[in-house]
Amino acid sequence: MHPAFSVIVFTTASGAGYGLLALTGLVFAAGGFASMHWGFGFCAIGLGTALVAGGLVSSTLHLGRPERTLRALTQVRTSWLSREGALAALAFLPILGLFIGWVAMGLVDGPVRLAALAAALLSIATVHATAMIYRSLKPVHQWCNGHVVPVYHVLAAMTGALLLNALAHLWGAPSQALAAFALLACVAGAFLKERYWRFVDEDAAPSTPGTATGLSALGKVRLLDPPHTGSNYVMREMGFRVARKHALKLRRAALLLGFVAPALLLLVAALLGGATATVAATIAPVPALAGVLAERWLFFAEARHSASLYYGAEAA
């Protein structure tokens, strides 16, 4: 599939934003951050909301008619895209309640904790809906599998934890539990991505030219002539191919930047402490987000739509 930069930015930014908001909400609902200055809450909620809003705006750039964006919310019963939009809109309500209660009014209990919990749960649900948009597409073998949803959740949790850990260090209140969670998320993310890439490389796609034409019983089916002699939408958007050697390079870059580098920076922060720990923890989200951008690009570039079978692809 052709990697659209707007969707890559959307899935990366919104995942990090919802991960940050979810962790902030869960920790606050559990009684954490009660002694933190309101400025910390302003930064955590503000940064999470900015990432989510920026991602959502970026996603509309991929639409042919952005002015009709609201129509995407009308099919909640059948469309994961509509569910994602509805959940994203609903999530802003408890996020606003948490912001007003904690940041503006200085409240740390009662209804504010309920708003924090609701914000966390709706943030997680929105990430799940985003993942299911791709998981539900049966014509794309690289998306319609059991690896996609866990990867989306873990990457959101990892980037969100790294951002929250950086903010905690900047505000002079580092948390060993938060740093440990971020490190665990880095390890889990690397493990899940390796499993996903192994699946992409080794698991045979169910669709072939034979199954697509219904002629597999007669033997191997091959294309005699392409349907078109020139480029068209299907070939540009659904027949995009990335060279194997380039894909391997990007996988290594995504692994090193997205998981190894932030994990090493977290270990440096834990071992050295002091100002060095603050610097390492603050830098950690930067390579992680760069790595996730590379991972997102590959997620789209390595996907093959079954429509490409009619244009010479051996499998999809």
- Per-residue pLDDT tens digits for 207-229: 777 777 787 778 888 777 777 76
**DSSP assignment letter at 36:** S
Q: How far is 260 from 262, CA to CA, in rounded Å? A: 6
Q: With 90 as the cut, is the pLDDT of residue 164 above it?
A: yes
Q: Residues 28-51: pLDDT tens digits?
A: 999 988 788 889 999 999 999 999
Query: Do 311 and 34 contact (CB within 8 A), yes or no?
Result: no
- Predicted pLDDT of residue 315: 67
Question: Distance between CA atoms of 25 and 223, rounded to whole angstroms?
Answer: 55
pLDDT (mean) for 61-69: 67
**CA 180 – CA 147 distance, rounded (Å):** 24
What is d(CA 110, CA 122) in angstroms, rounded to the nearest whole number? 19
Query: Hey, how many other C-beta atoms are within 10 angstroms of the C-beta on 224?
Result: 4
Domain boundaries, the chain: 1-136, 139-316
The CA-to-CA distance between both ends of the chain, in Å, stands at: 11
Rg (CA), the chain: 22
Q: Is the dihedral of CA 153, 155, 158, 164 positive or negative?
A: negative
Residues 106, 83: Cα–Cα separation, whole Å: 33
Q: Which of 4-8, 78-82, 125-129, 303-307 has the highest mean pLDDT?
A: 125-129
Distance of alpha carbon 110 from alpha carbon 33, whole angstroms = 14
pLDDT above 70: percentage of residues in the chain: 92
The secondary structure of residue 258, as a DSSP letter, is: I
CA–CA separation, 215 and 209 (whole Å): 8
Which pLDDT band, with edges at 50, 70 and 90, does 1 fall under? confident
> Phi/psi class of residue 37: alpha, beta or left (left: φ > 0; alpha: ψ in -120 to 50)?
beta
Q: Supply the mean pLDDT for the chain.
A: 89
**Alpha-carbon distance values, 53 to 15, 18, 164 (Å):** 11, 10, 18
- Please count the residues of the chain: 316
110's tokens: 């009662």
| Widest pairwise Cα distance in the chain | 73
How far does Cα 305 stand from its chain's mean position?
Answer: 21
pLDDT of res. 8: 93
Residue 66 pLDDT > 70, yes or no?
no
| pTM beyond 0.85, yes or no | yes
Q: Of the candidates 32, 8, 50, 52, which has an alpha carbon nearest to the alpha carbon of residue 165? A: 32
- Is 266 exposed, middle or buried (CB count within 10 Å of its CB: 0-12, 13-18, 19+)? buried
CA distance 98 to 138: 39
Please, is 106 exposed, middle or buried when counting C-beta atoms within 10 Å of its C-beta (0-12, 13-18, 19+)? Answer: exposed
Angle CA 4–5–8, to nearest 5? 90
